[in-house]
Amino acid sequence: MVSGFLFGYDTGVVSGSMLLIQPFFHLSMLWAQVIVSATVGTAALTSSVAEFVADFVGRKVIIGTAAVLFTTGAIVMGEAETILVIIVGRVIVGFAMGLSTVVVVLYVKESALATRLKWLLGWLQLMYTIGNMVSNFLTMVLHYLGDKMVWQYLLGFGAIPSILQFIAIILLPESPRWLMECDDAEGTRESLILLRGTDQIGDELEAIRLDVEEERNELDKGMRLSKPPIIRILLKPKVRQSAMNVSFLHLFQQLSGISCIILYGGSMILLSGLPTNLSLILLNIPNVLYVVATYLSNKFEPMKDDRRQLLVSSFIGKIVLIRFVHFESTVICGSEQKDSFLSRSMCFSFRTCAMCTYTEFCGFCYTNWWDGSCLPTDLNNSYKSVVGRCNHSHTANPYYKFIHSECPSDFGWFVVVGMVVFVLAYAPGLGQITQRENSQRCPVWARKTSNSIARSINWGANLIISMTFLLLMVAMTKYGTCWMFTGLCLIGVIYTAILLPDE
């Protein structure tokens, strides 16, 4: 449970803290994306090999190592005074995240009773959402204390649950299945006795032995055929289809936009035209409802026949969010004199007020929200522009206003409503089904390879989204970005309806 909270906290804390880090260091969008995606990139590398490494050294060693890395990264970020140090801390946390998310789930699956497995995996997902919610709530509370360095406390707080994870894994026994794979039958028996609290574990011990023996026989068969598991998966149509379905779920879990909500939720609200203080408050609404929706999804587990309908509902909910964001993006910079200075200015290229005011060196000049221009800010006086109609020497019109931290929009709340719809649709669909699927439909010999491929696809797609989201908002505008994600969700609906089986 602690591991789920830790993963959720370290994932979600960047959403709110970036609203404080960005103005503190005067970050460009590129640097903001580097900070966010540094963790995702390193997690993508370690998650692809974590299960194979755990087969050699054991589950406890990997989980304990991840806890140490989590603590180290949190301390580094908590003491950081430069951007590069923050990135180093995020990279360290990324290594820990890639190891922990894979091996903790593996440990739970190998150690839990079959009758309690779904319940435990559900609670692991629930604790992830709680960690996400707590990170954003702490950001809001600490921000109101007025300390400009509050982001250090937020990033450093992750050391507390990581220390608890380290203590917990020391007290727990090793995975009984891994011990059996190491031909340690006595160690397997002792581990089961500690986990179950009884010595009546003969049937379970025999089931583990038979399962390990079956996997070995299948692997030996593959060795005799001189075909690695990936080749055997591709050559067997039913196994290939199962592996493709799992990879599809992991791919579209990210491409449909969950990373945008978790990693950039605060920035999305801020870019909708709302001030930082209000953005931090409103960010808690979808996070709280995400916890509630995940809890209800665990409590009222859907029937197998509902699997396809839930997935389609998830995609439709995401399309609703995208359309809400698309509607809000109607605050467009109006026309302005295209003199030679403006033609060379980065500010003049921004088409929306939100993207204009997100950049330190630009501000929005307007009389009404539908009639504005993005102009370069006077660094000596942030209440006026260098040139243009909000420069005091250029015009005497007292009705022009020049702002550089928020936008004059009546529709910012649309983004929050869309995020609420998103999480309510996501939790019972892609959120739960992807978590539980994990290649269980594949034969034993194909599961590790299939899981590794699916996780690599998941983290890889997450990296692409996290590294490009804000830049896409500039290059394609909100309008184009919204249509891109709408198209991806529609592809997900088509694949789910046609190719994904109900059972």
On whether both 145 and 222 belong to a single domain, the answer is no
On whether both 61 and 8 belong to a single domain, the answer is yes
| Structural domains of the chain, count | 4
CA distance 162 to 326: 39
On whether both 280 and 421 belong to a single domain, the answer is yes
Residue 333 lies in a domain: no
CA 151 to chain centroid, in Å, comes to 19
**pLDDT tens figures, 476-496:** 766 677 788 888 888 888 888
Q: What is the 3-state secondary structure (H, E, C) of 423-481?
A: HHHHHHHHHHHHHHHCCCCCCHHHHHHHHHHHHHHHHHHHHHHHHHHHHHHHHCHHHHH
pLDDT (0 to 100) of residue 301: 64
Residue 334 lies in a domain: no
pLDDT of 185 above 90: no
Say which residue, 88 or 259, is predicted with more confidence: 88
Q: What is the mean pLDDT of residues 278-298?
A: 86
pLDDT (0 to 100) of residue 60: 93
On whether both 206 and 271 belong to a single domain, the answer is no
pLDDT of 286 above 60: yes
CA 372 to chain centroid, in Å, comes to 34
Sign, CA dihedral 470-474-476-478, equals: positive
CA 70 to chain centroid, in Å, comes to 17
Most confident by average pLDDT, 144-158, 173-187, 199-213: 173-187
Residue 74 lies in a domain: yes
On whether both 363 and 439 belong to a single domain, the answer is no
User: What H or E segment, with its residue span, contains residue 401?
Assistant: strand 401-403
On whether both 260 and 282 belong to a single domain, the answer is yes
Say which residue, 339 or 290, is predicted with more confidence: 290
pLDDT (0 to 100) of residue 91: 94
| Complete edge-to-edge strand list for the sheet that includes strand 401-403 | 381-385, 371-378, 362-368, 401-403
CA distance 413 to 428: 24
Q: What is the mean pLDDT of residues 304-320?
A: 75
On whether both 208 and 277 belong to a single domain, the answer is no
Percentage of the chain exceeding pLDDT 90: 12
96 pLDDT tier (thresholds 50, 70, 90): very high
CA distance 158 to 151: 12
**Whether the model pTM is above 0.75:** yes
SS3 378: strand
SS3 287: helix
pLDDT of 409 above 70: no
Considering only CA atoms, which of 400, 342, 328, 404 is closest in space to residue 371?
A: 400
User: What H or E segment, with its residue span, contains residue 91?
Assistant: helix 83-111
Residue 205 lies in a domain: yes
Helices (H), 112-201: 117-143, 150-156, 159-171, 176-181, 185-196
Residue 274 lies in a domain: yes
On whether both 465 and 321 belong to a single domain, the answer is yes
CA distance 452 to 98: 12
pLDDT (0 to 100) of residue 393: 57
**pLDDT tens figures, 109-130:** 888 887 787 788 888 888 999 9
Query: First-to-last CA distance in the chain?
Result: 29
pLDDT of 386 above 50: yes
Kind of pairing, strands 381-385 and 401-403? unpaired
* 373 DSSP β-pair partners: 365
pLDDT (0 to 100) of residue 369: 60
CA 345 to chain centroid, in Å, comes to 34
CA distance 451 to 249: 12
SS3 292: helix
pLDDT of 69 above 50: yes
Question: By residue range, what is the domain housing residue 218?
Answer: 181-226
**Which of 352, 377, 403 lies at the terminal end of a domain, its last residue?**
403
pLDDT (0 to 100) of residue 254: 85
Residue 112 lies in a domain: yes
On whether both 238 and 319 belong to a single domain, the answer is yes
On whether both 377 and 458 belong to a single domain, the answer is no
On whether both 262 and 359 belong to a single domain, the answer is no
CB 150 within 8 A of CB 140: no
pLDDT of 446 above 50: yes
On whether both 163 and 70 belong to a single domain, the answer is yes
Give the range among 69-78, 181-190, 411-420, 451-460 with minimum mean pLDDT. 411-420
**Which of 365, 384, 403 lies at the terminal end of a domain, its last residue?**
403
